Amino acid sequence: MLNIRASVCLAAAVSGLVSALGAVVGMNPPALSVSAERIAALPQDQRVAWQAYLERSERQMEVDRAFLRAELVVAKLSQPIIPKEGHSAASIPLEETAAWYGGSEARHIADILLSFQTPAGGWSKNLDMGGHPRRPGESFAANNLSRFLAAGDFDEPRDRSWNYVGTFDNDATTTEIHFLAKVIAASAPEAGVAYKESFDRGLGYIFAAQFPNGGWPQVWPLEGGYHDTITYNDAAMIETVELLQAVAEGRDEFSFVRADLRSRAAASVERGLGCIAATQIVENGRPAVWAQQHDALTLRPASGRNFEMPALCGSESAQMLLFLMKLPRPSPSVVASIHAGAAWFKKNAIYGVAWRSSPNGRQLVKEAGGGPLWARYYEMGTDRPIFGDRDKTIHDDVNELSKERRNGYQWYGAKPREALNAYELWARSHPLT
């Protein structure tokens, strides 16, 4: 078990002082990058695959960066043009009619998607995909730098000019691939050639980014830090597996996908499910739930941003259970995993409270009949709710956090209730044996 508890004295030494916010129960450690040094310490039978993976990532990173450098020379630019920010998924509709995807508006968006596809085959996040195609010398990514960067911040990229260039974060890459499939399915064969090529490259990106153990990083080619972890945050990996499931089955708009790509997608799904099973946290000999991020090499819970600590995670684990319960033919081990996760949620439901806004920011307050609610994070080994702040301090009382972090993060939620409601129906046909 990874122990994130530290004494108040240690926290004070690291952060400079223990503020008036109250008890600090630990400091958030940084996530570790996938590196040659760490791979060299792996068991012999794992090293070859991981070395090949890291080398492939490094080669692709250089190809991607060389592509943009060449464009800058031709365009006579000293710095890349920064594209307009937006929410990519919001400008890429996936719920229109089949006829709409065969029309000019959809093709306009698809052409923009093609222009922002990285040489590796993926897409960045937070781009306005409803404007204009990417221009020569324009970056593949908008400005995704945190507004709160400080010295030693976990969000500080290795290179501020190359950040989230190819990612699964914020629905990126999976949304673009899904949209292209809809446009291809609604277009005449001769009109969809470029879109099919882009779609195939997008699938190739997903296959290349998958870790040898079946997980996916948040960013690929690898960017370092928490971006290298197996990422369940915001359903990034779940959405990737769901997309590949639809591809493997040739379902709906994916009926055009070649047989060889469908086979690769099916194999990728199985490896992804294996990773999900391997990362379920075990407490006192019993499977519990999952963390928000897991270390790519050790599979242990890992940190994300400064305020996202290694811990059992309520919201992401609820999404995981909902995903697993949709599997049409779950294996006995998956069935046991779901039952264990549901039992953990029932055990850790919180009643008699509400998560409310107040003049002093969001706060947890007593409320008769309130709940059930679940914290976002629970300390491993104790199941005690814990909370992180931007200075990397970990607290056991959400009301002790800075106002900015209390307002800016969903520390409590009811998503597990949706999972438990679905579980009651699912369990009738999937008894624990």
Cα 221 versus chain centre, distance: 15
246 contact partners, CB below 8 Å, separation of at least 6? 252, 254
Cα 308 versus chain centre, distance: 13
Angle at Cα 358 formed by Cα 352 and Cα 362, nearest 5°?
A: 70
- Say how far apart CA 417 and CA 318 lie, in whole Å: 8
Torsion angle of the four alpha carbons 358, 362, 364, 366, in this order, in degrees rounded to the nearest 10: 20
Residue for token digits 């594209």?
Answer: 83
Q: Are strands 393-395 and 26-27 parallel, antiparallel or unpaired?
A: antiparallel
Beta-bridge partner residues of 142? none
Work out the number of other CB atoms within 10 angstroms of the CB of residue 17.
10
347 contact partners, CB below 8 Å, separation of at least 6? 383
Q: How many CA atoms lie within 13 A of 242 on its CB side?
A: 18
Angle at Cα 228 formed by Cα 223 and Cα 234, nearest 5°?
A: 110
- Say how far apart CA 57 and CA 45 lie, in whole Å: 20
209 contact partners, CB below 8 Å, separation of at least 6? 122, 166, 168, 216, 217, 220
| Exposure string over 320-352, b if 16+ CB within 10 A, otherwise e | bbbbbbeeeebeeebbbbbbbbbbbbeebebee
Work out the number of other CB atoms within 10 angstroms of the CB of residue 19.
15
**Torsion sign across C-alpha atoms 209, 175, 129, 199:** positive
Q: Which residues are catalytic?
A: 170, 305
